[in-house]
Chain A
Amino acid sequence: MNKQLAGRTSERPGAALSRIPAALHGWIVPVAILLIWQLAAALHLVSATLLPAPSQIIGQAFRLLGNGELLQHMGISLYRAGVGFALGSAAGLLLGLSTGLGKLAERTLDPSLQMLRMIPMLSLVPLFILWFGVGEFSKILMISLGAFFPVYVNTFLGIRGVELKLLEVTGIYQFTRWQLLSRVIIPSALPNILLGLRLSLGTAWLVLVVAEMMGASAGVGYMIQDARAYSQTDIVFVGISIFAIVGKLSDSAVRLLEKRWLRWRDTYKG
């Protein structure tokens, strides 16, 4: 059945597409857009201030790279996002495990957490500024809060998705609590946990930009905000591209883990 599906899909792409190596298929759309964009700019079809040509943006990126400005902004942004993501997802994992495993923890903690989850993150910004100012602490706290919920919700779901039939087996072979957790519950919940991590990476980026635009003196978000004030649209685009590239890379890293750790899964692979 699986083989049939696989066979059918591999024949589907058109003949033109099959001449390009499969690894490059993801590049077709962005490259085409860049070409059209560059062409439009060269023919002066769009305003250079509103939509600078790709070549100009790339030139600007190299200039910022050359004088170290870009790396400095990226460094501080990666630090904030990284620490915030690490703290938030670790807390999400721990709390998700405890509410997932224990009825008591579920009854006492989950309702409050679900209520907090429904508060739009951005409505907390004024409060955070009032309480903690605009320093690193409030930024990292906001990012971790954003990264917390996707991991929390999905860890909980993953644990509650463990098959009862397998738990019965662990009862017969008398797994200890630790063996049950490390050999059955976590592996079984892993697909959900990894999904949570991917979603939470996305949220971490989102909150990072908000945090950096609400007031900062460094960071890619600040760089964008600052460039907008001086109508340096090309720098705005450099900043946006950084988010796109680093975001994609971090997502690919988690997907690589998925590939490694979830090899055992027997699911449709397209």
Chain B
Amino acid sequence: MASELLVIDGLSKTFSAPAGDVIALSNIRLQVRKGEFITIIGPSGCGKSTLLKIVAGLDTRYTGTVLLNGKPIEGPSIEKGFIFQEPRLFPWLTVEKNIAANLSLKNPQVRQRVNELIELVRLQGFEKSYPRELSGGMAQRVSIARALLRNPDVLLLDEPFGALDAFTRTHMQEVLLDIWQRNGTTMLFVTHDLDEAVFLGERVVIMNPRPGHIRSVLPVDLPFPRKRSGTAFQEMRRLVLNEFEKVEEPLYDVGGGI
């Protein structure tokens, strides 16, 4: 138990709506080791983003236990980096100032870390550019650097590459793996892309909607870097897809309005 960075147990969350309460998460149980790369996959409405927001401390109205480093999560803090689907950069700040955000570049330590991170996310030469001059992938790399500057214990990523084109997405996945291998930051990565989940995750968490719960957790015992075309990868992908098909079926029975 000592090596568990994040412990989620019996976590439930209900949204109150005028039409009646909606159970977004029901009895979620998940333990994440330090340095682990977890991907969470599921159809829309399965509560995967809600789960991530709770871990981030952005949503504190839940029941159950969520412990980070053995302490309950009470609100946002620098131990939890968060990457949104959109980069959410400050348009009036240059790349380096966006990374520093509320820290001062005049502080030599911050300055040095920012320089290192710019190198890590491969943005040398764009330090003084404004967000409008960046491509989608570059902007998202800035937001990753911004999160890493605070040395978070866990990086929470909410479909961070969902808005990027296929080529950029593949490239970004490699950049992220590179960062993970070099920094050892624990990653909790939400996606709806099957390939992405299998390519990145050491364990794939499969979630099921109505109410949102964890269907299964599949370990992916493939060495990095993984080859998408390899048979082992394809086999793993099929395994996850199977779980999915089990997930989808009952939905048709209910006549769920997706």
Contact = CB atoms under 8 A, between A and B. Distances in A.
Contacts of A172: 56, 58, 76, 80-82
A268 to B, nearest CB: 12
A243 B97 CA distance: 42
B88 A169 contact: yes
B88 A166 contact: yes
B180 interface: no
Contact of B58 (A171, A176, A184): A171
B130 A174 contact: no
Interface in A164-194: 165-166, 168-176, 179, 183-184, 187-188, 190
A43 B82 CA distance: 77
Nearest to A186: B92
A44 interface: no
Nearest to B80: A172
Given A165-B84, A168-B58, A264-B132, A184 B76 contact: no
Contacts of B56: 172
B77 interface: yes
A86 B51 CA distance: 51
Contact of B102 (A165, A176, A188): A176
Interface string B72-96: 0000111011101010101111000
B150 interface: yes
A237 to B, nearest CB: 44
Contacts of B110: none
A266 interface: yes
Interface string B82-120: 101010101111000000011000000000000000000
Interface in A27-58: none
Range class of the A interface residue count? 20 to 34
Contacts of B88: 165-166, 168-169
A263 interface: yes
Contacts of A25: none
Interface in A126-163: none
A215 B101 CA distance: 54
B130 A263 contact: yes
Contacts of A107: none
Which of A173, A174, A179, A264 is the most central at the interface, judged by chain B CB atoms within 10 Å of its CB?
A: A173
Contact of B86 (A165, A187, A264): A165
B91 A264 contact: yes
Main secondary structure of the interface of A (DSSP, over half): helix
B91 A173 contact: no
A173 B58 contact: no
Contacts of A176: 102
Nearest to B150: A173
B91 A266 contact: yes
Nearest to B78: A174
A263 B131 CA distance: 11
Nearest to A184: B90
Interface string A246-270: 0000000000000000011110000
Nearest to B56: A172
Given A165-B86, A183-B102, A174 B76 contact: yes
A183 B91 CA distance: 11
A172 B82 CA distance: 7
A175 B81 CA distance: 14
Interface in B166-185: none
Interface in A212-270: 263-266
A57 to B, nearest CB: 45
Contacts of B76: 171-172, 174
Contacts of A174: 76-78, 102
A265 B84 CA distance: 22
Interface in B181-212: none
Most buried by B among A170, A172, A176: A172
A266 B132 contact: yes
Contacts of B90: 166, 183-184, 187
B78 A173 contact: yes
A265 B86 CA distance: 18
10 contacts: A170-B102, A172-B56, A172-B82, A174-B76, A174-B78, A176-B102, A183-B93, A190-B92, A264-B91, A266-B91
Closest 9 CB pairs of A and B: A266-B132, A187-B92, A264-B92, A179-B102, A264-B130, A175-B102, A172-B76, A169-B88, A172-B82
Given A168-B58, A172-B81, A173-B78, 16 more contacts: A165-B84, A165-B86, A165-B88, A168-B88, A169-B84, A171-B58, A172-B56, A172-B58, A172-B82, A175-B101, A176-B102, A179-B102, A187-B90, A264-B93, A264-B130, A264-B132
Interface of B: 56, 58, 76-78, 80-82, 84, 86, 88, 90-93, 101-102, 130-132, 146, 150
